[in-house]
Chains A and B, each alone.
Chain A
Amino acid sequence: MTERRPPMHAQDKLAFLLALVPYLMDRDGVSVGEAAGHFGVPAEQIRDAVRLIAVSGVPGETSQYQHGDLFDIAWEDFEENDRIVLTHMVAIDDSPRFSAREAAALIAGLQYLSALPENADRDVIGSLMAKLARGASAEPSQVAVAGSQSDETLTLIRDAVAAGTQVEFDYLNSRGEHERRRADPLRIESVDQDWYLRGWCHLREAVRTFRLDRISELTVTTEPLTYHPTDVTLPETLFEASADDLTVDIEVSSSALPLVADYIPEGTQLSEQDGFVRTSVRVAHYHGLKRLVAGLSGVLTVIAPEEARQAVTGWAAAGAARYDTPSVSVE
């Protein structure tokens, strides 16, 4: 995987040591390469860990860490053949239990998977959750995920990923324009209620993020992928700022500031007075701004430019006007 790994903290290194020891114990000997492949870590990380394990142990009766109180390995095999053979073991003889939160994270992940259509007949999920709970050192934390409705488009994209082929679809962009797009699907992500497809767009020749509910008429092509999920490092943020973005000055209730934090570029000035903050947000176009502002009624006001204020007012007034005439469609 090309995903960046955060640097390992001492705590993670400890977790790795405690996992590696029982793995090595169960084997008479294993190559560094095989162990690295099994754990999905660089070979050097395995070697570092083995060197540390080989000199570690318990204080022992003498409190002096005598030879018999330490792990030992076949050093020659290790240094000459890159093979690991544990020749003496101390204190540990089994894999550690999961923590309450580790078990909870996997259980919640399983709950989520079990709602996906292709797992509907996998009856192992229920028993697997129970097993995780039994394998935890404390009762798993109370975290639960409801299954989301599965979407036909979602299923098709997953099929395309499995088959390694491109997808083609109608896309309605945020300005309201339709375009036929072709993409290498790389990942599907959800943020709150919305689903996004992240893929290599053959029209723009760049990584793009598509909102699933704006996609229609999707077909799985027979064209193989140009880029595979493992080839591309996806940016952490879904959307990149663009030079064409518009800057809009706003006044927002201090309490509600976090609700629009995503739209405030880093380093933007904020001034606070009487529970209100003045700052500015960046938006792609007023089309999106008026929707954002109308959804934050009472907590956010556009200050400038005038054109932005007009866009918001026009939008809200048109919305309110629909309630002026008694609706004939009400039974």
Chain B
Amino acid sequence: MPSSSTTRVPVEERLFSLVLALLATETGLTKSEILSTVQGYRQRYSQYSDNASLERQFERDKDDIRELGVPLETVESPGDPGNNQSLRYRIPKGAYDLPADVVFSAEEITLLGLAATVWREGSLSAESRRAIMKLRSLGVESDEPILGYAPRLRVRESSFEPLSVALERKTIVTFPYLKPGDRASRLRTVAPLALIQHQGRWHLQGIDQDAHGSRTFLLSRIVGPVGLTNRSFEPEGSDFAARALDELERIWGGNVAEIEVVAKSDAAIRLNKRYGDRSPSNTRLTVHYSDANILADEFASYGPEVLVLSPDSLRDAVRSRLDATVEAHRDALDDAESGAQDD
């Protein structure tokens, strides 16, 4: 039933038809076979033109389908290697189907539903929703009628999404990075290896292409758009996320600061909850940290409520921040002197 070229085929019908056609073929279909026969393309295919815009459409559709985790393969024709026109496309069933031994119990389905709700927004939330949709196709009902209750995590940093794409495609990225303690950002070129959340902050671990070494970046300090280059890389090693997390944990455990807080102040309440014994009257605290500059910024913000006792480098860093703030607002100092005690 060849449709007339005036009926418009919805995008999802074209994508669905493409997946079905490529799943059904064992040897694969050439691009011209696809464009001339598959629903949604064939209506727009012309025997007499170069079909350039239809070809571009096909390229975009392939990307959309692959992004869903569908293993769309390209096979070279054995008799004609290197010839683009004779490339064949297919989706091998074995690589498409969820393996038969991957089955989930009702309890596991409940837990996975809960794991998906952890993500509040952004790409992780969209990916989770899609994964849950696939799980539901298995038809297992969860053992609790209503989803449980999990604290939600926000991924505020807009750099997260492009970085997770680059991570998957193994693409080298560039971004302006404002190193903690610096005043101006510098453009970094990085091969991304892992995204890790530690102590509530998201980090990117990767190989800095200029410094030729492994570096960890705070996503909150990526102060401009992340650019995906056209260069890809092959990571050397495995388990980058777990190893980066261990490394951060090690650094965090090894850096210790001693501070004194003013009893019952905002600093006492917040820092005691985080590092201390949770009593707002406790005034001596031991604080672990992974980045001295970030911690110095945080302590400086507490003004007179926090006094750093050790290490000296952190003491100096906080003090020079406070001095610089006074300096920058100096002409207001004379008037402020009498009001130096905060109310």
Chain A interfacial positions (CB closer than 8 Å to B): 10-23, 26-27, 38-40, 52-53, 56-59, 63-65, 90-106, 108-110, 112-113, 116, 122, 124-125, 128, 131-132, 134-138, 141-146, 148-149, 151-152, 154, 158, 161-162, 172, 176, 187-195, 212-214, 216, 236, 253, 255-259, 275, 287, 290-299, 301-302, 306, 309-323, 327, 329-330
Contact = CB atoms under 8 A, between A and B. Distances in A.
Contact of A329 (B168, B309, B340): B309
Interface string B239-255: 11110110011000000
Contacts of A151: 273
Contacts of A315: 303-304, 342
Contacts of A102: 69, 127-128, 130-131, 134
A5 to B, nearest CB: 9
Given A141-B167, A299-B183, A322 B131 contact: no
A12 B130 CA distance: 8
Contacts of B335: 306, 310
A158 B331 CA distance: 50
27 contacts: A14-B15, A20-B137, A91-B24, A92-B20, A96-B69, A97-B71, A101-B164, A105-B125, A112-B150, A138-B69, A146-B196, A146-B248, A151-B273, A172-B269, A189-B151, A291-B303, A292-B301, A297-B324, A310-B336, A312-B325, A313-B330, A318-B303, A318-B342, A319-B304, A319-B318, A327-B307, A330-B310
A65 B116 CA distance: 39
A221 B143 CA distance: 28
Nearest to B267: A291
Given A56-B39, A96-B69, A102-B127, A295 B297 contact: yes
B138 A190 contact: no
Given A98-B134, A112-B153, A259 B329 contact: no
A134 B118 contact: no
B260 interface: yes
A56 B325 contact: no
A113 B114 contact: yes
Nearest to B138: A95
B96 A38 contact: no
Given A128-B112, A137-B69, A294-B303, A99 B127 contact: yes
B178 A255 contact: yes
A316 to B, nearest CB: 4
Interface in B149-174: 149-154, 156, 164, 167-168
Contacts of B104: 128, 131
B1 interface: yes
Interface residues of B, number: 138
Given A22-B137, A329-B309, A91 B23 contact: yes
B269 A101 contact: no
Contact of B300 (A58, A191, A319, A321): A319
Given A259-B220, A317-B340, A318-B340, A310 B128 contact: no
A70 B122 CA distance: 37
B326 to A, nearest CB: 5
B154 A189 contact: yes
Contacts of A16: 133
Contacts of A329: 260, 309
Given A19-B136, A58-B21, A110-B112, 14 more contacts: A10-B11, A14-B12, A59-B21, A95-B98, A109-B119, A110-B115, A132-B112, A146-B249, A213-B270, A275-B184, A291-B266, A295-B301, A299-B183, A323-B318
B193 A310 contact: no
A113 B111 contact: yes
A124 B112 CA distance: 11
